[in-house]
Each structure stands twice: as structure tokens, then as C-alpha cells.
Amino acid sequence: MACPIAQSLEILGEWWTPLILRDTVLFGITRFDELQQKLGIAPTVLTDRLNKLVDHGLLERRRYCLRPPRYEYVPTRAGRDTEPILEALAAWGRSWTQVPGTDRASKD
């Protein structure tokens, strides 16, 4: 579809993708094992999502250890440019969703 929203959702719309970007862009978590532990995501799913983010130019894969080979996933300019989107989603969620452990009244 020739729509910028549709094109953006093709890249960002999968459920885990904004969470991975949140952790890499906003929180600076770049290593596979740290992302997996923080998100509680299956390694195969995380590998797939990270590869897609690298393929779309939002993350760059950098080797930080030779033996054993280990990589980190660093946001590119395109990845860093998702920050206002992630912050807007978080703000909307704080206002309009019930976050577990909070006592927020309905906003009618």
C-alpha cells in the first residue's frame, strides 16, 4: 500500500519490535542475552526480530567478542528516530490503558 503509515507498520507493527526498540533506543540495552532476559522472549523470536531490524536499517549488528563470537545491536539514525514514536506510545498507554500494579481511574 502506498501509505506511509502502512509502510511504517510493515516494519514496526509486529508486537515485539517496539519493545526491542524501546530497550535498545531508550534504555541502551544492546546485547542479545540482556534483551532476551529483559523481555522474556524466545531466542528464536528475538533472533528473527533483530535480523529484521538490521535488514531494515534500524539496528546495526556489531561484534564485541571474538571467542565466543558475540554481537550487540546498536540503533542507527533510523532506529534513534523511533524515539518520539516510542515515547508517544508510552504516553498514550499511561493515559488510556490499565498498567498492572497501578490504581488509575477510567478516563471518560
Q: What is the CATH number of the domain that holds 26?
A: 1.10.10.10
The CA radius of gyration of the chain, in Å to the nearest whole number, is 16
Is 60 exceeded by the pLDDT of residue 85?
yes
Closest CA to 18 of 49, 42, 54, 44: 49
Q: What is the pTM of this model?
A: 0.86
Asked, for residue 35, whether it belongs to a domain, the answer is yes
Asked, for residue 91, whether it belongs to a domain, the answer is no
Asked, for residue 39, whether it belongs to a domain, the answer is yes
Asked, for residue 73, whether it belongs to a domain, the answer is yes
Asked, for residue 75, whether it belongs to a domain, the answer is yes
Asked, for residue 104, whether it belongs to a domain, the answer is no
The number of distinct structural domains making up the chain is: 1
Asked, for residue 92, whether it belongs to a domain, the answer is no
The fraction of the chain above a pLDDT of 70, given in percent, is 93
pLDDT for the residue 19: 97
How confident is the model over 28-53, as pLDDT tens digits?
Answer: 999 999 999 999 999 999 999 999 99
Asked, for residue 22, whether it belongs to a domain, the answer is yes
Read off the pLDDT of each residue in 59-85 and give the average, rounded to a whole number. 96
pLDDT for the residue 100: 74
To the nearest whole number, what is the mean pLDDT of the chain? 92
Helix (H) or strand (E) holding 39: helix 32-39
Structural domain harbouring 10: 4-86
